Chain A
Amino acid sequence: MSTNLTPLTPQTEARIQDIGSAEVLVGIPSYNNADTVAHVVRAVSVGLAKHFPGRRAVLVNSDGGSSDQTPAIVARTAIDFEHLFIADQQSILHRIVTPYHGIPGKGSAFRTIFEIARRLNARACAVVDADLRSISPEWIELLLRPILEEGYDYVAPYYLRHKYDGTITNSLAYPLTRALYGRRVRQPIGGEFGFSGALAAHYLDQHVWESEVARFGIDIWMTTEAIASGARICQSFLGAKIHNPKDPSADLSAMLTQVMGALFALMEKHEVLWSRMEGSQPVPLFGFTYEVGVEPVHVNMERMVLHYRQGLADLEPIWRQILADDTFAQLRDLQGTSNTDCRIPDELWVQVVYDAAIAHRNRIIRRDHLLKALTPLYLGRTASFVHATQGLTSVEAEQKIEALCHTFERMKPYLVERWQPPAPQPAAPALLHHTSTDAGGDHE
C-alpha cells in the first residue's frame, strides 16, 4: 500500500483529529453550486439520520474554489428533523468543508474525499453531485446499505432517464464497458456512487491523480477500476435523475474527450483482463423499481447531421488515419438524402469505436486530436439513434441499446484481433478479497 498521503489543509487535518473515526461518509464535490447544494446537503443529512441513526457519520464537501458561497451554504444548512418525523437521531452528523488540492476537476475533489475516508477509517462511503435536484434521502440508503449490510464494495446508480438523456452513456460508455469487462453496469458514468473504505484506499493508491482522471474521467475510471480489481459490485435504483442543465453544445467535445480518453486509457491498462473476457454478466440491482414520467428532450437532428457531414468532408484525412479502410469506406457510402437523414448502423458504429481505440493505443495521431476528431462521428451516431427510436417508448428504446450492446460483444473478436499483442505484465491485482461472480436478476 502506498504511504503517500493526499495533502489536506491544516484546518481539515485538525477536524479529522477532532472527529477521530467514522463508520459512514458521504462526499459532495462542488464548484459554484450555490443554487442546489443546500438541497443535496439536506437530503444527505436526512438520509443518514433516517436510515443510519446509530452510525457515526461524516459529510464531506470537497470544493474547487467556488465564488458563490457554496462551502458556506454547506456549512450552515440546517435541517428540521422534527418535521421529517425523525425524532430519535442518535448521532451528530459531522461536517467537513474543505477545498481540494491538485489539478482542478471532479477527480481531485474525489481524491480528497477518499483521503478523508481513509483517515477516518470509514467502512462505507458515497459520493453525490452537488447539482442534483432530484436527490432524496432514500438515495443515501440505497448507495450505502449494500456495502454495510450485503458486503458489496461498489454501488453504481441506476436511473430512469429519457431515451435521449445520457447519449454518451447509451452509445459508448455502457456498451463498451459491458463488452470489455463483462459486467452490465447500466450507468458507469452516473455521478453518484457508493463504495467501501477498502476500495477508497485502493483508488488512492493508483497513480492517476495527475492525469485526465483527476479532471472529469473519474466516473468511468472508478467503475472500471472497481470491476478490474475484483470488487463486488451492484447497482441501486435511484429513480429519475434531474440536475442543473449544462450547455450541451459548449461541453460536448470536452465531455466526449474525457470519457473516451479515460475508456481507451483504461483499455491499455487492463488489456490482459478484457482480451480474454467473453460475453457479459448481469449485475445485481437493489431498490424498488418503478416507472416515472421523465422530462421531454428536444433534439435538433439537422444540426447533428450537418455536423457529421462537415466532419466527413473536412476531417477525411484524419478519419482515414484513425479508421480502418473498410470502416471509412462504409461511412462514405452512407450519404443520406435529406438534412436530417443519417443512419450509422450498430455494426459500423462498433467498428468505429474499436478502430478509434486501436488508433489511440497505437498513437496514430496526437491523442487529444484523435478524441476530438470523433465528435462529429458521435453526433452522426446520436442522430442515427434518434432517427431509429423516434416514436418508440423508453422500453423499446432500451431494447435498441441492448441490441447495440450485443453487437459490441459479438464484434469483440474484431478488436482483439487488431489490438497489438499485449506486453507481458502481471495479472490484474486481486485488490479486494473476492472476485465478482455475483449474478443477480437482469433488470435491464
Chain B
Amino acid sequence: MSRALPIIGNVAALLAGLAVLFGLPAFAETYVIINATIFASFAILALSLALIWGYAGILSFGQAAFFGLGGYTYAVAAINFGDTTGAAALAIALPALFAALLGYFMFWGRISDVYLGVITLTVSLILYRFVNQTAGEEWNIGEAPLGGFNGIPATPILNWPGRPGEQLAPENIFSLAVGLLILVYFGCKALLATRFGRIVVAIRENETRVALLGYDTRLYKLAVFVVGGALGGLSGLMFANSVFVSPTMFSLPVSGQIIIWVIIGGLGTLIGPIVGCILMQILTNWLGTLNQVPGFGWVDPNLVLGVILVVFVLLVPKGLTALVTDAWRWIIPSPRTGGEVDAAPRRPDEGLRDANPSGEVAQTQSPSCGPSGHLLPAFAGRREETP
C-alpha cells in the first residue's frame, strides 16, 4: 500500500498536468489562460527553491536573483538578436553561470545556514539596486535600454525557432509554460532518484558524514545550486513572456514569496511548492477584487494575507502536502502499523520538515524541539544504496 502511493502520486500529477495542458485552452477564457501562464512560470520558480532548499538544504533568500537575471538576459538578448531562440538559451545559461560563481564563492567559503541566506539576499538586493538605477541612456546594452524602475516594457515575445517575426500566440506560450513545468517536475524527480540526488539528500541530512565517506560535498551542493539557478532563469524567461521584465523581479518580496510557497506547500516535496504557489497566486489575485464585494471595500489585502500566513504557520506547520497525506492515511489506513518510519527511505519527498536547515540552531536553543534523531534511519537507508 505505501509502496503504491508514490506511483499513484506520480500518475496523478502527470494526469493533472496533461489535463491542464490540453484541457484548459479548449474551454477556458483568455484571462484564465493568461493567469495560468503566469502561475506556471512561477511554479517553475517554486520548484527551483523546492529542489535546492527542500532536498539540498540550501536556503536561498535571493532566488529572485536568478529569476530576474533570466528575464533580463532574455529581454536584452532578444532585442539585440532579433531571433529569440538563442536569447531563450542564454536566459537559462547565464543565471546558471551566475549561480556557479556565487555557489563557488559561498560553498568553498563553508558558508551555511542563515549566513548563506543573508549572502543570497544581499546579492539579489545588489542586482535590484543596480537595475533600478539604469533609467539613463548610458545603460543601453546594444539596442536594449535597461529602463531602470520601469523595466523593459518592449520585451519581445518568443518566436518559433528559426522564424523571427512569427510570434507565439498567448495559447502557445501557455502550452509551453505548462509543458515546461511538467518537464521540470519530472526532471527533478528523476534527478533526485539518481545517485547524485541521493548524495545531495544525504548532505542535507549530515554533511560531515557524507564528507567522511569521501564525497566532496561542496561540489555536490554547487551542482544542485546551479540547477536551481538554471530553473530560476527558465522561470524568469517564461515570466518575461507573460508579463514583462522589471526590477521588481529581483525584489525582496519576490524572494520571500517563493519561500512562502515552499513552506505552505510542504518543504521536502516537489508537488507541494507547486500547489502552494498556485494557491497563493489565486488567493492574492482574488484579494485584489475583494473591494468589488459590497461591505468589504475597507479590507486590506495585506491584512488578509498576513493573517493567513501566521495562522498557517501555527496550525499547518508541515505544509499542505503533509496535511493531505495525513488525511489520505486517515481515509485509507495503511495495513501495517508504524508504516511512517518504514516508508521514509523509499519516499524521498516526505516528512523531512524537522530536519530543515535551521536544525543546528534548533539544537542550541530549542526547549521543545530536539535535533532530528528520528530521521537517522532514513539516512541509513540511503547510505546502503550509495557505495
Are A and B a genuine interacting pair, yes or no? no
A residues at B contact (CB < 8 Å): none
B residues at A contact (CB < 8 Å): none
